[in-house]
Amino acid sequence: MKLVCHLCGIEFEKADKEVRRQRKEGRDYFFCSRSCTGIYANKIRHNTPDDGLKSYQRRTKKIEELLGEKLSTAKSKLNKLLMFELAKKCNMDTCFRCGERIDGIDDFTIDHKESWLLGDDPAKLFYCIDNIAFSHAKCNYEAGTKTYVSNCKNTIKEDSELYTY
């Protein structure tokens, strides 16, 4: 007897006797292979939607719908909020550049005291805790731009072939 696979839609043949036996047991649908049978059984067993996503992807998508933004963005905002609150509690909320208090989280940035881009060992300077301070966003960006442009104007940094203007 010719049948159509319930899962993939492929036409296949099955013995009449076997089809009658399975229908007598209450089965109204048939599968072309054990693979299709297993896939269908797992969908039923785990109540998996047919959206092509893995379970962790489905979870992340749901979280992003609840938060209204990408999960990585939300985590970054939370980390910045925590850092700002801890800086205030430790009295480290003073701008490294101008010495004034940093009042809001939107103005709060991590600042490298010495430019890591211009150092002999950029990776070491970038991660060095002693080279880290907090600054107003404006102060940080102005200082970085002035230092970077004045030291590297129209040159190529030899080690990393980094173009600077």
The dihedral over CA atoms of 95, 96, 100, 101, expressed in degrees to the nearest 10, equals: 30
pLDDT tens-digit map of 69-94: 999 999 999 999 999 999 999 999 99
Measured in degrees and rounded to the nearest 5, phi and psi for residue 144 equal -65, -45
Beta strands in the chain (DSSP E): 2-4, 11-13, 108-112, 132-136, 156-157, 162-163
pLDDT tens-digit map of 121-147: 999 999 999 999 999 999 998 887 665
- pTM equals 0.58
CA 140 to each of CA 52, 63, 99, 129: distance values in angstroms, whole numbers, following the listed order: 45, 33, 12, 17
